[in-house]
Amino acid sequence: MLLSRLAETSAALAATRSRLAKRDLIAAVLAGTAPEEVEVVISYLSGSLRQRRTGVGWRTLQDAPPPAAEPSLTVAEVDAAFAAVAGLAGTGSAAARTAAVRDLFGRATAAEQRLLAGLVSGELRQGALEAQVQEGLAAAFGVPVAAVRRAAMLTSSTTTAARLLAGGGLPALEAVGLRVGTAVQPMLAAAAPGPEAAAERSGLPAVVDAKLDGVRVQVHRDGHAVSVFTRSLDDITARLPDVVAVARSLPHERLVLDGEVLALRDDGTPEAFQVVASRTMSATDPAPGGRPLRVFFFDLLHVDGRDLLDEPLHERLAVMETVVPAALRVPRRTCADVAGVATAFAEAVAQGYEGVVVKNLDAPYAAGRRDAGWVKVKPRHTFDLAVVGAEWGHGRRQGWLSNLHLAARDPATGGFVMLGKTFKGLTDELLGWQTEQLLAREVRRTPGTVHVDPPLVVEIAVDGLQASTRYPGGVALRFARVLRYRPDKTPDEVDTLDTVRALGGPLRAGEEQEG
């Protein structure tokens, strides 16, 4: 398949807001894809290269040669070129990488160059999220989308599900089961502004878990072999020897557990997220000798040959109580009414937890989706937003990028919609770190401002929203302040504009309050 076919499809996806239209566009291009190319095509439609790390940065892309006049590149050629680039190492590899990328881009048309740049950066703004790609894949092969989603969930890869479907049809998808040692896409929580709304959405009675402010982990044990994965399915086993030891101490040979890693202070309250993230998301521990990291589990997906994904939560938790000691389980209680949920929430916050997660007792494990079976509640309005630019500071902050441009995600286009700015909540250490990170992502400058792509993901607390004509989303953040950066999240996980509007409380009229 010519790359130009995908470039045309990408442009068409970006041009429509219709979910059905996106599905049909994806299905049409997949219908003309050879079986040996389907994994690459699915990966590109999802907005990423198959090679997770290529060493190619924005500075290399900014020096791309003029585009070709006519299309000639094939999908297979592009995949092979990036595979070769990803394999370069040692002396002279940087120069060889740059030369290879320039050669590839020199053969690409303008539309193909835009597609390639988006794939390299992981920021292909075409509004085709993984769920929509799965819908298109199901439509192309005439199979239920639920079968595609389940296979993708259990193999942790839509591209793998596509390869199975192309090679063996629906029976190949249905034959996929949970495999201990292969990460499963994690179940995600929806959000509510308060415990009452969470209880109404989840249903009662419900289990109310303390929401731990740590790093999400999925732990697999197969005999002596243990693997630890992040929510983004990265293998961090080598960085968490204490978690490995805990898994091996449990009296079962085959396990898949869902949990959270965090550190506790001397008084038993949770340590700040940044402390945990810096030790789990980096290849080396920057703080040796720091507080030990502890794991707390909140769900059980498999035990000794028995898959529990489709079992209701009350059954999973009943089995879990026989597998995992109480000291290794998250604090939780069962609540029969709204008053009980509100009390559990207040007590969790008082004990230093981030909030609670209200869980439906009858819900299966809805892997890979935000589901009303789990609803999180925090004591303040917080959002995960994209930092799309920053302004140079003044006075004491001279020389640092300080005032952040904050944006929510438009789910229809995949682009970002600016909601406001803030310089509040930034320590000197964080100012230095973010300046370095933002300059490395710089794509252009305007007077006083550095614009970046791909953006950083930052967790922001706000006092609410107000109507605004200043920003294209029609709303602005009130008294926004930085809580933390989220290196464990990708720009695709930035909260949508609809989520911000729904959780921000009633809109107020008046001048925006910014940092």
The residues carrying an active-site annotation are: 211
* Burial class (CB within 10 angstroms; exposed 0-12, middle 13-18, buried 19+) of 91: exposed
Structure tokens that stand for 260 in this block: 């959270």
User: What is the C-alpha separation between 121 and 144, in angstroms, rounded?
Assistant: 32
User: What's at 85, amino acid-wise?
Assistant: V
The CA–CA distances, whole Å, from 211 to 100, 150, 207, 358 equal 47, 27, 12, 9
User: What is the C-alpha separation between 139 and 27, in angstroms, rounded?
Assistant: 6
User: What is the C-alpha separation between 141 and 161, in angstroms, rounded?
Assistant: 12
Asked if residues 3 and 74 have their Cβ atoms less than 8 Å apart, the reply is yes
Radius of gyration of the chain from its Cα atoms, rounded to whole angstroms: 23
Give the chain's largest Cα–Cα span. Answer: 67
User: What is the C-alpha separation between 47 and 122, in angstroms, rounded?
Assistant: 6
Structure tokens that stand for 435 in this block: 């300046």
User: What is the C-alpha separation between 487 and 489, in angstroms, rounded?
Assistant: 5
**Residue located via tokens 């907005």:** 47
User: What is the C-alpha separation between 402 and 425, in angstroms, rounded?
Assistant: 11
- No. of helices (H) and no. of strands (E), the chain: 17, 18
